[in-house]
Amino acid sequence: MLTSSERVFGGRFASGAAPTLPTLLAGRAAVAGDEPALTWLATTLTWAALDRRVTAVATALCQVTEPGQRAAILIARPVDHIVAFLGALRAGLVAIPLAPGNRAAVTDAEPSIVLATADTVAATRRFLSASDTCGHRVLAVDIVEETREFTEAPVAAGDVAYLQYPAGVMVTHANVVANARQAAAVLPGRTIVTWRPPSDPLGLLLAVAVPITTGRPVVLVDRSGFRPPPDAGTLVSATDPDLGRLQEAFAPGALRVCHVVAEATAVVTVEGEPAGQRIAIVGPGGRRWPTGEAGEIWVSGPNVGRGYWNRPAESARVFCAFLADDDEPRWWLRTGDLGFLDGAGALSVTGRIAAGHDSQDLQVTAKAAHPAVHEAAAFGGEQAVVVVELRPGALPPRGEVERAVRAALSAEHGLTPRRVVVRSLGGLR
């Protein structure tokens, strides 16, 4: 599948020469091995120590798996989770970072092996035995023996590095390195702080990808009652439930609010500014909406994932959209988020297309509701805003199209839209 990243950036990540997180980690260990890489509670690993632990896990995995197979990570302790994740990548596997107990994701991904810690192996086996899956090997990553003899499995930058749940987004090696560089360009401080678990898109980016890509150490903290270390910075999702308290905990400018989209690896904008990506606000017919008007947020860039695991039709619809008035052909990601761009190009996110009513189904219904309708777009699920454009020259009586659209949506979907906007060639009617 051609991705927006491969098209937009001329295939610069298409060859196997582009760096991956394991190769970047090896480089850090070689030139700055004694410097701290990550700290959690009383544990600090240097780059060299982290690299050795990752190699040990990769060596053990290579003895019982084949490159390209999937490895689920069911580990709560963040340091062990990070080691397991990087070890899976270094072994050429597709990692699946999960919170322990995520039965739905394990069933969907069908991993060949599950990574745990020595004190959780028995509980992990019991958990797996109750799952609707085949038997799994379980490897305790904290007791594998270190080794100096290891050849890293060759992978291409366009190969899938990990699956990101709950949706099962396929993130490639190139995607995660690209998003790490995008985020690093706007991330303040010489030390990174994060309270998000590595199973979370933003947590994985801040705890693993950005530190390895930039060489900045990361401190992993509990979100309750911590004090940021001096000269530390972080990114926080605009939807974080503790946003207000976290903003008070950091020095001015040390915490920056970002918009996170799992299908785009993680970070799309920081303080409203696009993080090295193209952003379009799109209305009916896949046409770009003018400045200040709200519509669906579309994204294109090297960080956009390959698609959804085992969902080709949905992947094509979400990851392979075309903008009708684009300056050159490229694929766009339909984020499902709603927002608008201001005159300076900054993004404001206003909502989310909710589950329960597929926007495509609503659009088909609205388009067929009246013969004067040429195109339609629907946003917002249960609180839907439906925008319809009239055919050129169509001048139906005022209110007739709106009533027809509302009646059709009610009859076919049991939905009462919050608003129906009717656009003609001359503007809103």
Whether the pLDDT of residue 40 is over 80: the answer is yes
Would you state the structure tokens that stand for residue 280, as one six-digit string?
């379009």
Between the two ends of the chain, the Cα-to-Cα distance in Å is: 41
The residue-averaged pLDDT of 288-293 equals 93
pLDDT of the residue at 8: 31
- pTM of the predicted protein model: 0.83
The residue-averaged pLDDT of 316-335 equals 92
Exposure string over 31-49, b if 16+ CB within 10 A, otherwise e: eeeeebbbbbeeeebbbbb
Which pLDDT band holds residue 223 (cuts at 50, 70, 90)? confident
CATH fold for domain 4-256? Rossmann fold (3.40.50)
User: Which amino acid belongs to residue 402?
Assistant: E
Nearest to 176 by CA among 17, 399, 5, 400: 5
In the chain, where are the structural domains located? 4-256, 273-352, 359-428
**Is the CATH number 2.30.38.10 carried by domain 273-352?**
yes
- The string of pLDDT tens digits covering residues 65-86 is 999 999 999 999 999 999 999 9
Whether the pLDDT of residue 182 is over 70: the answer is yes
Q: Which span out of 46-50, 103-107, 290-294, 375-379 was modeled with the highest average pLDDT?
A: 46-50
pLDDT of the residue at 135: 66
Percent with pLDDT over 90 in the chain: 69
pLDDT of the residue at 229: 85
Which pLDDT band holds residue 9 (cuts at 50, 70, 90)? very low
Q: Mean pLDDT score of the chain, rounded to an integer?
A: 89
The residue-averaged pLDDT of 202-211 equals 98
Percent with pLDDT over 70 in the chain: 91
Find residue 349's DSSP bridge partners: 339
- The string of pLDDT tens digits covering residues 251-290 is 999 999 999 999 999 999 999 999 999 999 998 888 999 9
pLDDT of the residue at 393: 86
Cβ 144 vs Cβ 55: under 8 Å: no
Q: 202 versus 129: which is more confidently predicted? A: 202
The residue-averaged pLDDT of 131-145 equals 84
pLDDT of the residue at 175: 98
pLDDT of the residue at 7: 37
CATH fold for domain 359-428? GMP Synthetase; Chain A, domain 3 (3.30.300)
pLDDT of the residue at 18: 66
Dihedral angle over CA of 119, 121, 126, 130, nearest 10? 130
pLDDT of the residue at 233: 96
Whether the pLDDT of residue 413 is over 80: the answer is no
Q: 16 versus 242: which is more confidently predicted? A: 242
Q: 15 versus 337: which is more confidently predicted? A: 337
Which pLDDT band holds residue 381 (cuts at 50, 70, 90)? low
Q: Residue 290's CB: how many other CB atoms inside 10 A?
A: 11
- CA 74 vs CA 53, 99, 138, 140: distances in Å: 18, 6, 10, 10
